[in-house]
Chain A
Amino acid sequence: MKRKLLSMLLAVSLMAVMMAGCGKNDTSSGSGGTTQSPAGTTAAGTKEETAAAGETATAEGTQATDVASLTFGPYNWGVPKDIDYSQPYNKRFDGLEYTRISATGALDLPEGMSIDDNTETWLFESTTGLKTKTEWVAAAGSAFNNKANQSIASGEIPDLMNVGMTQYYALIKAGLIADLTDELVNGNHPTLQKLYGMSDNIALDTLEVDGRIYGIPRVNAQFDSSPLIWIRKDWLEKLNLEEPRTLADLETIALAFMENDPDGNGQKDTYGIPVLASFSAQKGGDGFLCDIFLNVGGAAPGIWQMQDDGTVIYGSLMEGAKDALTLLNGWYEKGIIPSDFATWGADELKETVGNGRAGIVFGPWWAAWSVLSSNVNLDTAAEWTAYMLPEHEGDPIRSAAGNPVSNVFVISNDFEDPSAFVYAYDMWCTTEKLPTDYENFVEVNNAYNPMPTSVSPKAYLIPIRTMLDKVVGSGEMSTMEEVKQACLEEAGVSLDWVVEGAFRAKNVYDAMEAGEDPRAVTVDDMDPVATYQQYLQWWAGPRALAEADPEAVMTVFQGTTDSMEMYNSFLSTYETEAYVKMIMGNTDGQSISDYFDAFVQSYLEQGGAAITAEVQEAIGK
């Protein structure tokens, strides 16, 4: 027995040695997690890198070559005509190849195009000279995220990545990405700097870690997903109701919808205002309640706010939340908010609206594609309008403006010239939506875009405002070209694709003004439903935003801290739970005010205070 044990041990240890040996060989032959690369050194030496890259570019003959003779893709597209490549800020990188990964796994491309050879990559290359090579493709969502996180974890990242804030911090911690501070702050990149400057460089500040910036922030338009109040216009007319001007009016309308059978099916089965138990003003969306809090009492749930005395406060703990909670509790008691709203998700919301069982719903300006889409498709009589409502008539309106940074482009330390992407993004944001006059131009899904462009904070507001004031208002403009030019002047960057959308939508608007059926209008080769969706997206939604002209409420801190890592998972559910309880009136016999105070107290005690102190410190850096 003993001998056998011994021999077995021997065999096992022999095997172990064997394995260890072969493991070692493999490791030394490169790859795996051990490839440390000259990561740290490159991060420090961006300047030399840049200088070296300049040489490369010259060596490749970019400055020497006549750009007019360059062609790209199978259709030989030239470089965009309206860029003056003699400008120092328009450096080209012809011949430089970079690798990326792509979240387009679920999408189709037109015949003859491939992931590295499609409209977007040709345009990108013609504008910047950079040649795209895709390492892999996966479907957007968990498939892509799993694979991307794994590649971050193993330290083998592509040259260019488009990441969220969590991944951004992880990449910095691992020392995998290049420091772009000098290039972004002091480099000559006027378009980017103007875009960031429009919101006081808050995007760059957000990315700062110990004074350095490791990525190119992509910024979005404000109020991108602010929950507007969408109301069935045909129901309002049917029940002879006035358009709402305050939240109190909204309550009246909701009660009328519930009582008076607007869909005419003989049953009292219409919901008042189906909402979701989502409060955060970080990012709004379908069914979100954040704007109610911002406009009633002024709390900003889910985001960090700076107070007058210079201290930060977590918006969900702001005193003003009591007012909104009291209002919502009143709605709940009256049955306006469904009794089991807290169990609902986006699918249930969409079903309820789709079935025609609700005539009021909160959704972003593009809700025509999300919560309203089933209803608009199924009910050809349904008409919607959007509003933003204050608590009292005449009050200024506030709304969730979204995050300062929507995502971040990061560049691997191993890439020979990280600054290339700053130049490239600057040019790309100047032109990307322009050169559609190419021969054989076919639009492909924006997801194929190597570096989706940043847009001006007011991108979706300026065109509709111009349309309302100058086209249908004073009538001083009439052609699309005039409006495009006016928007370009006001925004500093092109907004052509928004203007085009607004002009498509105007056909429906004109029909409504003429007293015709807006649901019968068609434009281009779209059917009436798609045309109406265009109207909702490019006219009804933005119009509500433009008319309300809300004050933007944004977080002052978008990062994470040690204590957040420790407590946030608990605190975030604790917070939602407390809010829902107060709305439902399950406050253990206490008044909402007392219950709220107790909630704040215990929130701070269970980690909230530590997090606040850390955020305060991080902001004061």
Chain B
Amino acid sequence: MGKKKEFRIPDKVYYWLMILPAVILVFLFNTRTWPGILAAFQDFIPVKGWYGSKWVGFRNFRIFFMQPNSLGIIRNTLVIAIGKIVAVQCMAIAFALMINEVRNSKLKKAIQTFTYLPHFVSWVIFATILKSILGTDGMINMILNNLGMEKVAFLGTASIFQPLMIITDTMKEFGWAAIIYLSAITGIDPGLYEASEVDGASRWQQTIHVTIPGIRYMIVIQAVLHLGGVLSAGFDQIFNMYNTLVMSNADIIDTWVYRQGIVSMNYGVGTAVGLFKGVIALVLTVFAYWAADRFADYKIF
């Protein structure tokens, strides 16, 4: 650093002052709740606190992992959650790129507004609509019937339940997820487009060589941030749509925890599952951070 004549507060002091309020607030309102994680290893009785409750080792974890179907539940959770992340993000990116090509601004705004609306409809209502459309007497089966095809019990067939959850969630969420990509696209330096135009690039080539690289970092970061959610497959959706016939393919960790909670008000089991989810997410995030750094030379944060 160059010499300064007058006294100047070092930049690092500014940096610390800028960051301290956030650190303190996070510490006060989140880090201080961490002792609660100990409940995962206790027969937790809230009034007795973490000191008074009985220690039970890994019993709370065993309750989950000793379920005859616990592996199936984890598999369902992973398939549905990863499927959703991939599908929603891909659809959102494709949508953002497509809408970027629309030049009629009224049309553009209308389409954008319509597509983000379903995000605000609750799954209770959404499920009602879907059940009616997909039921054996629903719209789709009527069409199939008219075409002379066999009726399909969409909601009662285990093998198609998972794709169905992924597709319906994508329909509901892609418009909202695209907002972040739209803002990233807006942030791309227009100079880059002008330059490529001078080079005679077509719109398609511009998309491939300018737009996508321009939002690549956002794609990576979204992927990494969503890794934290690979064990959360969307309780509301599954809970409102599953039924006995598809149970083997539909039961996810969160629905299991919910049903477990009905049997007993056991906070330990819920906390144990939360801890398990957190640890998995941490491992995945660290791995993704390392991989992005190592292979793409990109620091996520």
Contacts and interface: CB of A to CB of B under 8 A. Distances in A.
Interface of A: 11, 15-16, 19, 23, 33-34, 36, 39, 149, 152-155, 166-167, 169-170, 173-176, 277, 338-340, 342-345, 347-348, 560, 564-570, 572-574, 576-577, 580, 606
B243 A33 contact: no
Nearest to A174: B47
A346 to B, nearest CB: 12
A339 B46 contact: no
B45 A173 contact: yes
Contacts of A173: 45
B4 to A, nearest CB: 21
B63 interface: yes
A173 B45 CA distance: 7
Nearest to A153: B46
A174 B45 contact: yes
Given A34-B49, A340-B136, A569-B260, A15 B243 contact: no
Contact of A340 (B27, B67, B135): B135
Given A569-B260, A580-B244, A166 B47 contact: no
B153 A339 contact: yes
Contacts of B16: 11
Contacts of B128: 347
B18 to A, nearest CB: 14
Contacts of A153: 46-47, 267
Given A19-B28, A573-B251, A577-B244, A339 B263 contact: no
B48 A174 contact: yes
B153 A166 contact: no
Given A339-B136, A348-B135, A580-B244, A570 B67 contact: yes
A166 B264 contact: yes
B160 interface: no
B261 to A, nearest CB: 9
B198 interface: no
A348 B46 CA distance: 40
B46 A277 contact: no
B264 A169 contact: yes
A343 B259 CA distance: 18
B131 interface: yes
B70 to A, nearest CB: 8
Interface string B36-63: 0000000001111100000000000001
Nearest to B256: A569
B16 to A, nearest CB: 8
Contacts of A33: 46-47, 49
A169 B264 CA distance: 8
B296 interface: no
Contacts of B252: none
> 5 closest Cβ contacts across the A-B interface?
A155-B47, A153-B46, A170-B265, A343-B156, A343-B155
A175 B47 contact: yes
8 contacts: A15-B23, A33-B49, A154-B46, A166-B264, A340-B136, A342-B156, A343-B243, A576-B244
Interface string B12-38: 000010000001100110001000000
B153 to A, nearest CB: 5
Contacts of A169: 264-265
Contacts of B66: 566
Contacts of A570: 67-69
Given A19-B28, A576-B244, A577-B247, A340 B68 contact: no
A34 B35 CA distance: 14
A342 B32 contact: no
